[in-house]
Chain A
Amino acid sequence: MSTNAMFGRYWEADSPIHRLDPRTKIVGTALLVVTVFCAGNFTALAAVAVFTVGMFALARIPFLQALRSIAPLTFIIVLTALFNLFYVQGGTVYLDWGWLRISQEGVRQALFVAVRLTLLLLSGSLLTLTTTSLDITEALEQLLSPLARIGVPAHEFSLVMGIALRFLPQFVDEFQTIRAAQLARGAKLATSPVKGGLSGLTSLLVPLFASAFRHADTLSAAMDARCYHGAMGRTRLNPLRFARADTVALAALVALLVACIVLSIAPRMPI
């Protein structure tokens, strides 16, 4: 079993952040994302960075693990930074290679974007590391529930998401068995994708779809048998509770947002 943090995987711990209402965490993450975008200079970004690192500390997640959790997504950061490095021009020119030119403004912008993206990914990772998928789907359902009145199927949407998450590991397993079985029959899946081509691909996908339909058939019968009939009249084992810690967390985030906006425009203020 892996002991490493992964983006999208739950990090089991008992911390004030883990205990927050998942709704708070979703809204909070959204606020944090807005704050990151509002931070217009390095000072403001530094404030957000300090806050984010503090949150990971509070969640009892080692910072190295936090970084590891977003490692698979580093390429996004690098690509965007490189793009800015070459595209944005201005100030002293450090390197001039014909069509390739790096200048002071480009370096600054590349760094800025890299830090901003890192913070964005970290805040998203913090949500999934501290909240189980089920909590996230339930919280989403409740947050979306006002929309249910205008016909958005909030409950069904979250149920589908929950079931998809529940079946994901199983499909991975089944896919591996099917792949092994077809490889055993000489399917050229790994060696030459062109030669093995279409028949190789259908030999994997048809059984996988067949299995998905088989699962869906029984699952719907099983849900029927357990009296599932939509959201109406359903109760919940773990009703979501909004506590004082949630108020504090949201207040802190709003304060951070305000601080960032002030820091971002402060240098331009006449005082």
Chain B
Amino acid sequence: MPDAGNVTVLGLDTSDPANVYAIRSQAGMVFQNPDDQIVASVIENDVAFGPENLGVAPSELRARVTAALAQVGLQGFEKKQTESLSGGQKQRVAVAGVLAMEPKILVLDEASAMLDPRGRVGLLRVCHELNEAGLTIVLITHFMEEAAQADRVIVLESGRVALDGAPEDVFTQIDRLRELALDIPFSAHLSRSLRARGVPVSVHADEGGLQRELVGLLSPDAGAMSAESKCMPDADRTPEGDDRRPLVEFERVSFTYQPISQKKHRLSRTAPAAERADWGRSPNEYWALKDLTFSIREGEFLGIAGHTGSGKSTLIQLANGLLQPTEGSVRIRGASLADRKAAVEARRDVGVVFQYPERQLFAATVYDDVAFGPRNLGFSSGEVDEAVRNAMELVHLDIDELRDRNPFGLSGGQQRRVAFAGVLAMQPRALVLDEPVAGLDPQAKRSFLALLEELHREQDMSVVVVSHNMDDLATMCDRVLVLNEGELFALDVPERIFADEERLRSVGLGVPHASHFVNVLAKGGIRLPVSSLPTLDELADALAGACEGTHAEATRVGASGEGAF
């Protein structure tokens, strides 16, 4: 409730206690963490929880549950266990739980922040459908691409409304957005770059609008001037660093979470052929990783992509001996991790930063938390002190200021840096990070990624990053490994990995924005002379060039341009 002033929801004053349940049932909330808001173990009971509290008659409850699940695209899921769902599905169950209360407003509080791209797209689609059906949707988000899909955008800054208007009006104020430390939607950024190059487009907040305008501007044969050879993956860029020595080698690694006894049981009961047939298909798949061979090289920046459940987390834990492969072997600098001692050594060489590392903070002071690793390694107190100091310096935190502070009292971004310092304090040669920027706001995210690049460049560290963000992977990585259902789907330089959008889409992944934009225009008949992995500026240059071409062409005879296609 406000300290001053009034908040009214659908004409009801929130400060009047009598209105509480009327308001809560009309304005439903979905929260950030899908695991925190599901009350029951069985889906239908969770969806029914709200209307049950409202005292809806049992006969009507059933109908409401069925309808709500259908609205979020989960019909037939009534009896399933909530724990068996993916993050995206859980959020849709949470939405269904709100819908079953028949609200007028749906508020999503960073509801997509913890989802993978697939889950996020699904949730957004549901929101669009509900909105078309007449529901008011309030979406709180750090993702500007999501905000750009709204009818109206409000930007808050330290408790005040900074911007308020249609997406086209808000996202075109690029300098103001930069000031507010927000991301700028790709299309707004591109349209501005185009205007700066003299292309007369209006500034768009959504990609579709910009694409349509560009297609209108460029007649399909305008791009005929393109040098098609440039569209091919650059032949001169062989996988970089072939000469670099391998640091971590995976050789024919397979892993299953099922205990050995059950494996034997299973193998003895089922024919191997039958088992092979359903590998990678059933949801309760047997192998978490299957027959994986690759190596992480000294000093390289390797990206790992793959949707949830593709085996990324398992891979990370295998890379430093936390898990032992069921079949095959993992070696660090040639030493097999099957040997216990080697595995302990290896843990020092390969530092692992898990998802949301700040959740593993535990000590009473920042110093003690960062010192945990070095102390476990048996460093003398002088060495511990030096290790902590160095690690804090590497993550740009001031040890003298923070040493006695309680880590739980720091900001989210700082907590993550402290947790990261705790890994760096062990002086690893390689870093493996599982979605290092998940859940951070745009500014914290950018500076954390910059920090990783700096460690890579200046400390010559091997860095392995698991990420859902294709733009980040494309700009930062020397090579990208794509996992699908526990198998190696592709491993190559980003230029070649992102050259085939269709193929990546087939495993639930996408390509960087600029590449996608180029591909969409190509479908519209406009081919641009760009490299296989264009940056935004390169794309803008090519588009500007094509526009000039069109104008020049328009004065000549059109027929000559057609031949090149």
Contact = CB atoms under 8 A, between A and B. Distances in A.
A266 B31 CA distance: 66
Given A166-B41, A234-B52, A235-B56, A181 B24 contact: no
Interface in A132-159: 132-134
A211 B359 contact: yes
Nearest to A224: B24
Contact of A185 (B32, B38, B40, B423): B423
B83 A169 contact: yes
Contact of B52 (A166, A178, A237): A237
Interface string B46-72: 001111111111100110010000000
Contacts of A205: 362
A226 B97 contact: yes
B33 interface: yes
Contacts of B49: 223, 226, 228
Interface stretch (A82-90, A213-221, A246-254, A257-265): A213-221
A244 B55 CA distance: 28
Nearest to B53: A227
Interface residues of A, number: 52
Contacts of A187: 372, 376
Nearest to A221: B31
Interface SS majority for chain B = helix
Given A2-B262, A186-B426, A237 B65 contact: yes
A186 B373 contact: yes
Nearest to A205: B362
A203 B28 CA distance: 38
B58 A210 contact: no
B397 interface: no
Contact of B39 (A163, A183, A204): A163
A237 B58 contact: yes
B53 A184 contact: no
A166 B52 CA distance: 18
A219 B37 contact: yes
A52 to B, nearest CB: 27
A126 to B, nearest CB: 20
The winner among B33, B39, B352 for most chain A CB atoms within 10 A is B39
Contacts of A1: 284
B31 A210 contact: no
A227 B54 contact: yes
Contacts of B136: none
A215 B35 contact: yes
A225 B352 CA distance: 38
Nearest to A229: B53
Nearest to B62: A237
B422 A185 contact: yes
Contacts of A163: 39
Interface in B313-340: 317, 320, 322
B418 interface: no
B367 to A, nearest CB: 14
Given A170-B35, A181-B352, A225 B24 contact: yes
A180 B432 CA distance: 13
- Interface size on B, as a range, is 35 or more
Contacts of A177: 354-355, 360
A163 to B, nearest CB: 7
B24 A134 contact: no
A219 B51 CA distance: 17
Interface string A190-214: 0000001001001111110011001
Contact of A134 (B41, B344, B377): B41
A72 interface: no
Interface in B348-401: 348, 351-352, 354-355, 357, 359-363, 372-373, 375-377
A165 interface: yes
A8 interface: no
Contacts of A221: 29, 31
A207 B362 contact: yes
A218 B41 CA distance: 17
B327 to A, nearest CB: 20
B359 A178 contact: yes
A57 interface: no
B45 interface: yes
B101 interface: yes
Contact of A227 (B25, B94, B354): B25
B82 A166 contact: yes
Contacts of B31: 218, 221-222
A206 B322 contact: no
Contacts of A165: 41
Nearest to B266: A3
Given A207-B361, A226-B97, A235 B55 contact: yes
B215 interface: no
Contacts of A219: 36-37, 39
Contact of B45 (A134, A184, A204, A228): A134
A1 B361 CA distance: 32
A184 B49 CA distance: 40
A222 B36 contact: yes
B22 to A, nearest CB: 9
A207 B372 contact: no
Contact of B24 (A166, A186, A226, A233): A226
Contacts of B51: 235
A134 to B, nearest CB: 6
The winner among B31, B33, B317, B362 for most chain A CB atoms within 10 A is B362
A98 interface: no
Nearest to A182: B360
A134 B83 contact: no
A100 to B, nearest CB: 35
Given A180-B322, A181-B360, A206-B362, A226 B101 contact: yes
Interface in A100-127: none
A182 B94 CA distance: 32
Given A170-B83, A181-B354, A236 B58 contact: yes
A170 B33 CA distance: 13
B52 A235 contact: yes
A60 interface: no
A196 B101 CA distance: 51
Given A203-B362, A222-B29, A222-B31, A180 B48 contact: no
A170 B48 CA distance: 22
B44 A237 contact: yes
Top 8 nearest A-B pairs (CB, nearest first) are A186-B376, A222-B37, A218-B36, A206-B362, A237-B48, A1-B284, A226-B50, A185-B373
Given A162-B39, A218-B32, A227-B101, 4 more contacts: A221-B31, A222-B39, A234-B53, A236-B61
Interface of B: 21, 24-25, 28-29, 31-33, 35-42, 44-45, 48-58, 61-62, 65, 82-83, 94, 97-98, 101, 258, 262, 284, 317, 320, 322, 344, 347-348, 351-352, 354-355, 357, 359-363, 372-373, 375-377, 408, 422-423, 426
Interface of A: 1-2, 132-134, 162-163, 165-166, 169-170, 177-178, 180-188, 196, 199, 202-207, 210-211, 214-215, 218-219, 221-229, 233-239
